[in-house]
Structure 1
Amino acid sequence: MVFEEKMIMNGEPEDEEEEEEEEEDMVDPIEVVREKCEATDHCVHTRERLEQCQNRVGSRSSTEEDCTEELFDFLHARDHCVSHKLFHSVK
């Protein structure tokens, strides 16, 4: 109890709140680059193929088909784009 009162009087809880706010402002550069890459023509095309597959599989009650190939194609296209752009944005 005494320790908690000292923390409140010393203002340490406020410092913790400031640190949390600073952490929220940080943005992972890979997420920004991924979003930009997902907007490129090749990635849009592979995402459309993935969504078509998901819709097709979701509309059937029993099927052995899955969309693994389409998912890997999309991830490969996006990551290929990211690999060329990421290190230019990292300090």
Structure 2
Amino acid sequence: MVFEKKMITYGDPDDKEGDAPEEEEEEEEEEMVDPLETVRAKCEQTAHCAHAKERLDACEARVNSRSRTTEECTEELFDFLHARDHCVAHKLFHKVK
């Protein structure tokens, strides 16, 4: 019972009377960067991926310019993602610790 009163009255039992609470230093945390995103960005700049991206952009422009169309850019999207992921697969695990 006495211990409970001490906890309520004085706070933490490990704290000594008269000691000022320690100031916690605010540490600046380094912003985490996803290595997958950086490798993807680099791979998108390669010639093969750039060509696939141009085909995808041309298809999207063509589809968006029409009001009525059944055309979709699924094939071009898959080609671009395949080219990018193929490049990423060879480079990603060299970046991961």
Fold shared, TM-score > 0.5 on shorter chain: yes
Structure 2: gaps of 5 or more residues: 1-20
**2:61 corresponding residue in structure 1:** 55
1:46 is aligned to 52
Alignment of 1:73 with 2:79, yes or no, is yes
Greater fraction helix: 1
TM (normalized to structure 1)?
0.76
Whole-angstrom CA distance in 2 between matches of 1:11 and 1:52: 59
Q: Is there any run of 5+ residues in structure 1 with no aligned partner, and where?
A: 1-8
- The letter of the residue matching 1:63 is T
Q: SS state of the match for residue 25, structure 1?
A: coil
The offset of 1:10, in angstroms, is 6.8
Query: Runs ≥4 in structure 1, deviation > 2 angstroms?
Result: 9-12
Q: Please tell me whether Structure 1 or Structure 2 has the larger radius of gyration of its CA atoms.
A: 2
Partners of 2:64 and 2:23 in 1: how far apart?
55
User: Across the two proteins, how many residue pairs are aligned to each other?
Assistant: 78
Counterpart in the other structure of 2:35: 29
Matched residue type, 2:67: S
* Whole-angstrom CA distance in 2 between matches of 1:35 and 1:86: 12
